[in-house]
Amino acid sequence: MKTDALTDEMARRRKAIYNGLCACLQQEEAIKATEIWMQEFSTKPLYALQPFLSRIIEGLNINVPRGTIQQKILNSLLNETTTQEDPPKRTKLPEFKKENKKTPAEVNASHKVFTYFIDYFLAALFKSDSASELPIKIYVFDNAHSIGVSGQSLDRMKQWLSENGQVSLISEMTKEQMQGLFHLFYISSCENIGPVNTDRLIAESVKIVEQLPESSEFSIKDIF
C-alpha cells in the first residue's frame, strides 16, 4: 500500500540483505544485522557495504570473515529472486543499553507539551486496544530514522519506545521532527485501530494537553 513508509523497493532490498546474511550467519545474528541495516543503512547507497559490515561485526561480535559476509550479501543482491524470504516478524522490540546519564530535564514548553501529548495519546491508544501496542511501536521503531533524527538521539528515541516511557523522550527534537514522529504514530495507529478511533483519541489527547500551562506558549496543533 502506498501509505506504507516501507516502499516495495526497500522491502526487496531488505529481503536480499537478509538472505545474504543468512547464508553465512546464524539466523538470530542475521535478523539483528538486518534490523541494523533497516535502521541505519537502508537509505545509504546500496552497494556501499563497508560501513554496514564494520557496524555489525563490531556491534554483534561476529566472527565470520568480513569478505565472506560481503560476498554473500553481494551475491544475494545481484541474484535477487521472488522466492527470497523476509526476516521473521518480531514479537518484541530490541533491548537497548540503559544510559547511566540522568535524563536531561525538559528544556522548553514545546518539548513538555509534545511529550505529554504523545504519552497520553499512547496510553489512551493502548488502553483502547492493547494488542495494537507492539505493532505500532515496531512500525515507529523501524521508521524512526526517516524523521531526520540520527546517532545518539535516534538511539534514545528507540530506548524511549522500548521502555514504555520510563526514559524521557529526547529534548532536542525540532518541531519538524516532532511532526514526523507524530505522523509515524498516526499512520500506524490508523492501520491498527482505524482512522476514526485514531482521530477520536487525538481529539481527547488535545483536550487534556491544552489544560497544561505550557500550552499557552506552544500549541500542540502546530505538530499536526
212 is an interface residue for another protein by CB under 8 A: no
Q: How far is 69 from 71, CA to CA, in rounded Å?
A: 5
194 is an interface residue for another protein by CB under 8 A: yes
From the list 154, 136, 156, the residue with the least C-alpha distance to 145 is: 154
The letter for the amino acid at 191 is E
User: What's 108's DSSP letter?
Assistant: S
Residue closer to another protein by CB (options 76, 192) is 192
Residue closer to another protein by CB (options 173, 187) is 187
223 is an interface residue for another protein by CB under 8 A: yes
207 is an interface residue for another protein by CB under 8 A: yes
Place of cell 509534545: 114
Total of residues contacting another protein (CB under 8 A):
26
3 is an interface residue for another protein by CB under 8 A: yes
Q: How far is 21 from 8, CA to CA, in rounded Å?
A: 20
CA gyration radius for the chain?
19
224 is an interface residue for another protein by CB under 8 A: yes
Count, residues in the chain = 224
Site for another protein in 47-106 (CB under 8 A): none
Among 119, 155, 191, 214, binds another protein (CB under 8 A): 191
Q: How far is 61 from 120, CA to CA, in rounded Å?
A: 39
Segment near another protein (CB under 8 A); pick from 62-70, 80-88, 158-166, 183-191: 183-191
